[in-house]
């Protein structure tokens, strides 16, 4: 298989304890994973998108969906997610890997491009927008060089580092050249991810009222929409203050 420069690997599973089967749940007439993949494919800097799925029977239907929808898929360990990522880049080689999770149906293609551009310009081993954690939940983008991830795979032995793919890099940053993209607003408690039933209820309304009209809407456009619909935000982010600064809506 051809080696590409930038490749997204999306980790996906059907066995969530809090919301089983969430990856194939319907949002605006399409499965959650379909939205994630299409948004990832819209990133201009990305040449290939691959799904990394556990090798459990419960996830067979996810592989079947991939086969039916022309989506590249690899299967691997349920618990050792790092090894699943290594299998993905062994099967589909790349120079730089973007890690996305399947519970982010609003992932922003432009943000993927921005983190990739920053990563390349700085010559980093690892670049992300997860530290400091001030972006809304559901927009996490992590970029790591493939050779760096292979090095981590060879030395990381703790279960937490095998399950949480990039945690070794983030916990021992002195060994790597890393950078965290910060956000001008502090919104880590705003939930635009899919982890529980309340998240699903909120996302259903966002997709019905906002995303249907603009399928690739940016994070800024979603926040502008929510600014006018605080009742939706209250479904799964109750008590979180949401006050965009003056001029925010006009500047987007």
201 with 175, same domain: the answer is no
Identify whether residues 84 and 205 lie together within a single domain: no
Task: Give CA–CA dist 215/38, Å, rounded.
Answer: 9
Kindly state whether residue 190 falls inside one of the protein's structural domains: no
Find the mean pLDDT for residues 66-70: 97
Q: Is pTM beyond 0.85 here?
A: yes
97 and 220 share a domain? no
Shortest CA distance to 34 belongs to which of 221, 164, 215?
215
For residues 86 and 145, state if they share a domain: yes
Kindly state whether residue 243 falls inside one of the protein's structural domains: no
The tens digit of pLDDT for each residue in 163-221 reads: 999 999 999 888 999 999 998 888 888 999 999 999 999 999 999 999 999 999 999 99
Residue 202 counted as domain residue:
yes
Give yes or no: residues 25 and 56 share one domain. yes
- Is 249's pLDDT higher than 60? no
User: Mean pLDDT across the chain, nearest whole number?
Assistant: 93
Report in angstroms the alpha-carbon separations of 48 from 3, 44, 51, 103, 182.
10, 11, 10, 19, 26
CATH number of the domain encompassing residue 80: 3.90.550.10
Q: What angle do CA 14, 18, 20 make, to 5 degrees?
A: 25
Residues 202 and 148 in one domain: no
Are residue 171 and residue 217 in the same domain, yes or no? Answer: no
Tokens of 186: 């502090």
**For residue 248, pLDDT beyond 70:** no
Instruction: State residue 239's pLDDT score.
Output: 63
Q: Are residues 202 and 235 in contact, defined by beta-carbon separation less than 8 angstroms? A: yes
The structural domain count of the chain equals: 2
Domain boundaries, position 80: 4-180
Residue 250: per-residue pLDDT: 52
Cβ contacts of 152 within 8 Å, gap of 6 or more? 82, 161, 166, 168, 169
Q: What is the pLDDT of residues 126-162, one digit of tens each?
A: 999 998 899 999 999 999 999 999 999 999 999 999 9
Residues 137 and 61 in one domain: yes
Do 176 and 212 share a structural domain? no
């Amino acid at each position: 298989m051809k080696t590409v420069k930038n490749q997204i690997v999306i980790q996906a599973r059907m066995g969530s304890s809090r919301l089983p089967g969430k990856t194939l749940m319907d949002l605006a007439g399409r499965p959650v994973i379909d939205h994630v993949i299409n948004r990832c494919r819209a990133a201009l800097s990305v040449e290939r998108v691959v799904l990394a799925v556990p090798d459990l029977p419960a996830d067979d239907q996810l592989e079947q969906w991939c086969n039916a929808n022309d989506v590249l898929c690899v299967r691997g360990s349920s618990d050792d997610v790092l090894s699943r990522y290594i299998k993905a880049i062994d099967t589909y080689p790349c120079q730089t890997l973007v890690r996305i999770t399947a519970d982010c149906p609003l992932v922003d293609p432009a943000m993927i491009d921005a983190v990739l551009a920053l990563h390349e310009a700085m010559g980093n081993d690892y670049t992300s927008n997860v530290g400091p954690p001030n972006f809304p939940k559901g927009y996490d983008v992590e970029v790591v060089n493939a050779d760096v991830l292979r090095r981590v795979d060879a030395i990381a032995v703790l279960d937490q580092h095998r399950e949480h793919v990039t945690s070794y890099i983030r916990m021992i940053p002195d060994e790597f050249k890393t950078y965290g993209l910060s956000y001008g607003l502090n919104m880590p408690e705003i939930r635009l991810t899919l982890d529980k039933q309340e998240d699903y209820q909120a996302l259903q309304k966002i997709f019905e009222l906002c995303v249907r009209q603009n399928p690739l809407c940016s994070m800024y456009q979603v926040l502008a929409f929510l600014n006018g619909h605080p009742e939706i935000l209250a479904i799964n982010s109750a008590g979180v203050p949401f006050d965009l600064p003056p001029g925010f809506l006009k500047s987007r």
